[in-house]
């Protein structure tokens, strides 16, 4: 964007819509308007956004990523994720920190809702302010995500878990994935429906679940 667009005192009206000379400035003004709208939407959004950049074509330097949650509330993931086998599903965890009562606005979102059966690598990026984790549970055919019974300790039964990513900047099981980091796991998933959850106390009930279909 050129600075003259934003500079004060340069509010010259665009030429009439119908003139040819008006096309370029008008297009640019629309672009600026669209950009401003996008920024406003981003700031007001409760959905985290993530940008992945490959570590270089043809190299195995892995993937680094950054993301933001709600724009001005920040939330970057600096962990360098290695190249992982199989189909990769990127899962982002967001929360509102201590704002809005603490536990509202906790979410898990997946980069894709379905994957082919076989080797699947799940990467959890923690864009929130709290520690999170990712546990993979099977879903019965008549079961929907978010319906599991929550125990008095705030967690759900993990019986039948196919695996989890709960290690900060590492693979597999650990003590939880700290804010601003990522953790991952690689699983062999047969066809079926799965529920990806964060099972730290209170987090499932607060909305940290997402569905993944394997076919």
Nearer to Cu ion, 125 or 198 (CB): 198
Nearer to Cu ion, 132 or 148 (CB): 132
Report which of 197, 171, 213 is spatially closest to residue 106, judged by C-alpha positions.
197
Q: How far is the CB of 63 from Cu ion (least distance, A)?
A: 22
Cα–Cα distances in Å, from 87 out to 70, 83, 102, 111, 112? 28, 11, 34, 11, 10
Q: How far is the CB of 93 from Cu ion (least distance, A)?
A: 6
Nearer to Cu ion, 88 or 126 (CB): 126
β-sheet with 134-139: strand ranges across: 114-115, 209-214, 192-197, 134-139, 163-165
Binding pattern to Cu ion, positions 87-126, x when CB under 5 A? ----------------------------------------
Q: How far is the CB of 89 from Cu ion (least distance, A)?
A: 17
Q: How far is the CB of 147 from Cu ion (least distance, A)?
A: 18
Using CB under 5 A as the binding criterion, the count of chain residues that bind Cu ion stands at: 5
- Among the candidate windows 39-47, 115-123, 130-138, 148-156, which touches Cu ion by CB under 5 A? 130-138
- Asked if residues 126 and 76 have their Cβ atoms less than 8 Å apart, the reply is no
3-state secondary structure of 14: coil
148 binds Cu ion (CB under 5 A): no
Contacting residues for 205 by C-beta, under 8 A, at least 6 apart: 103, 150, 154
Q: How far is the CB of 7 from Cu ion (least distance, A)?
A: 45
- Residues from 179 through 208 that contact Cu ion (CB under 5 A): 198, 200, 203, 208
Report which of 162, 149, 152, 151 is spatially closest to residue 193, judged by C-alpha positions.
162
Q: Which residue is nearest to Cu ion (CB)?
A: 198
Cβ burial of 175 (10 Å; 0-12, 13-18, 19+) is: exposed
The contact set with Cu ion (CB under 5 A) reads 132, 198, 200, 203, 208
């Amino acid at each position: 964007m050129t600075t003259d667009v934003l500079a004060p005192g340069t509010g010259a009206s665009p030429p009439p819509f119908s003139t040819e000379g008006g096309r370029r400035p008008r297009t640019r003004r629309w672009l600026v308007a669209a950009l401003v709208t996008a920024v406003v939407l981003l700031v007001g959004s409760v959905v985290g956004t993530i940008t992945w950049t490959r570590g270089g074509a043809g190299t195995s330097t892995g993937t680094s990523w950054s993301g933001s949650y709600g724009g001005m509330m920040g939330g970057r993931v600096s962990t360098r994720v290695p190249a992982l086998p199989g189909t990769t599903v990127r899962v982002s965890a967001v929360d509102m920190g201590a704002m809005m009562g603490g536990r509202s606005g906790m979410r898990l979102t997946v980069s894709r809702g379905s994957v082919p059966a076989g080797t699947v690598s799940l990467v959890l990026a923690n864009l929130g302010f709290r520690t999170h984790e990712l546990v993979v549970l099977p879903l019965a055919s008549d079961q929907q995500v978010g319906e599991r019974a929550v125990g008095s300790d705030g967690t759900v039964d993990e019986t039948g878990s196919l695996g989890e990513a709960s290690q900060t900047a590492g693979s597999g099981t650990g003590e939880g994935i700290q804010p601003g980091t990522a953790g991952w796991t690689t699983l062999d998933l047969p066809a079926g429906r799965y529920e990806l959850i964060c099972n730290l106390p209170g987090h499932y009930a607060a909305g940290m679940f997402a569905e993944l279909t394997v076919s």
